[in-house]
Amino acid sequence: MFRYFVESSLLFFMMTLASIALLESLSDEQQVWQATIFMFAVAIATYVPFHIRRRTRLGVPLPLASLLITVGYVILFVILALSLLEVFWRPSLMLVAVTCVYSIGGNSIVFVQFLGTFVEVREK
Which pLDDT tens digit goes with each residue over 10-25? 777 888 888 888 888 8
Task: Output the pTM of the full model.
Answer: 0.80
Q: Tell me what pLDDT residue 105 has.
A: 87
Average pLDDT score over residue span 31-54: 88
Please give the Cα distance from 34 to 89 (Å, whole number): 12
- CB-neighbour burial class of residue 50 (10 A; exposed 0-12, middle 13-18, buried 19+): exposed
